[in-house]
Chain A
Amino acid sequence: MSDISAAFVTALGLIARLDVNLVEIVALSLQVSLTAVAVAACVGLPLGAAVALGRFPGRRVLIVLLNGFMGLPPVVVGLFVYLLLSRAGPLGALGLLFTPSAMVIAQATLITPIIAALTRQVVEDAWREYEEQLRSLGVTPRRAVFTLLWDTRFSLVTAVLAGFGRASAEVGAVMIVGGNIDGVTRVMTTAIALETSKGDLPLALGLGLILITLVLGVNAAAYVIKEAAQRKFG
């Protein structure tokens, strides 16, 4: 018990004096996960909306795949990206393995299906309401996709946040493709895993506290913004 409380005190101390090591790890985590979310949103939002509006053969299979891929195991995604980026792999020449870019690729791969699947659901519901009106106005399928994405923007914040939560919390994929190299590819989750196994509980605990606070904080902010916007725009 005293071990845990001592670790807590030390952890809070690390946070309070902005320990260089700690700040570096948190900054890289945010950089990797936010970039992955941006990339995944650029692909997942239009993809989800297109699947919601499109009528093409294989649509149902694609929906099942997207929904199923929401639960992709991060280690498997990590392994897959590792194979792609390893020296012998098809993208090996890029030399990306064990760099933050590789971690962005892995996390973006992991969360694109999440964002796309959630977007598909939101946009499909909206399309049910809007379809006749928009078709009456002569909307093209392409325009409809972007109109609906914009009109459901407050609900889609939740989809993007789900992706951010998943990306910042996963450890398996970044561990495999990043390698947890100190000062280069060490992020919060891989550092927590390492420090815990080494027995450096204060650093692990401090990182854990920051990770939870970050995820909670981002979600709380998004919730408040969404509520206010929905009250304003209906």
Chain B
Amino acid sequence: MIGAMHSPSSILPLSVRDLTFVAGGKTIIDRISFDLRHGQRTVILGPNGAGKSVLLRLCHGLLVPSGGSIVWGGGQPHPERRQAMVFQRPVMLRRSALANITYALKLAGVSRAERGMRAHAALAKVGLDRLADSPARVLSGGEQQRLALARAWALAPEVLFLDEPTANLDPGATRMIEEAIAVIHANGTKIVMTTHDLGQARRIADEVIFLHRGRVLEHSPAARFFDQPATPEAAAFIRGDLIW
């Protein structure tokens, strides 16, 4: 069923094999293997320092693996052009909210005529249309993160990475972000998100990758992960115990 939504040149599935990342003599990602398919919202869960953010950056091409392989869609060239990423702390340029989005579209090679239209549409989707002309960096934290989401959305990516997108936000702003993620998912974009927030993982995840000390301890459908975790570490994490 899901396969029907694939375009012939889709960058999915993603297959990661024996992925390793070493920095400063410390192994942060330790021989990880998994596959990600289209359609499911994947949440990478784990305690702080588990390597979640690094894993996301490796998949997105911001970091270069020390070992192993990351293959998109059986070897599609330039997969990063069909991806977008929202970071924990939104980075906005010193220009208007709208101009931040048109800038991203320009880099993506979107024609001038189309940029404004797409940027306005993306702003409207996250409820920021009335702030289109406001300087982006004076918006509140929650508004900036919604703007970051709109910027990613405007690019119409096949895969959207989100790295702890609500870690710095209050519950109201968190809810708006989660609602927007739900709509983006419904429109056919693959969601890959990290969080250390169990409640958020329960609300969003279709499947969970549980990461601990740079290793994948579990990769299972969300319902099974939360009801019957297969490892003591995951069980402890779900109970709310401190694990490290």
Partner of B107, one of A138, A150, A153, A154: A138
> A129-B91, A143-B107, A151-B93 are contacts. A135–B135 as well, Cβ < 8 Å?
no
> A136-B62, A137-B107 are contacts. A233–B94 as well, Cβ < 8 Å?
yes
Residues of B within 8 A of A130 (CB): 91, 93
Q: How far apart sit A32 and B107, CA to CA, in the bound complex (Å)?
A: 39
Q: Are A132 and B138 in contact (CB under 8 A)?
A: no
Partner of A233, one of B87, B91, B135: B135
Is B60 an interface residue, CB under 8 A from the partner?
yes
Q: Are A234 and B138 in contact (CB under 8 A)?
A: yes
Q: Are B94 and A151 in contact (CB under 8 A)?
A: yes
Q: Are A232 and B91 in contact (CB under 8 A)?
A: no
* Residues of A within 8 A of B (CB-CB), count: 19
Residues of B within 8 A of A135 (CB): 62
Q: Are B138 and A233 in contact (CB under 8 A)?
A: yes
Q: Are A234 and B137 in contact (CB under 8 A)?
A: yes
Residues of A within 8 A of B94 (CB): 150-151, 153-154, 233-234
Partner of B85, one of A129, A136, A147, A150: A136
Residues of A within 8 A of B (CB): 129-130, 132-139, 143, 147, 150-151, 153-154, 232-234
Question: Which 4 pairs across A and B sit closest by C-beta, in order of nearness?
Answer: A234-B137, A133-B91, A234-B138, A233-B135
A154-B94, A234-B138 known, 20 other contacts, Cβ within 8 Å: A130-B91, A132-B62, A132-B87, A135-B62, A136-B60, A136-B85, A137-B103, A137-B104, A137-B107, A138-B80, A139-B107, A147-B103, A151-B93, A151-B95, A232-B135, A232-B138, A233-B94, A233-B135, A233-B137, A234-B135
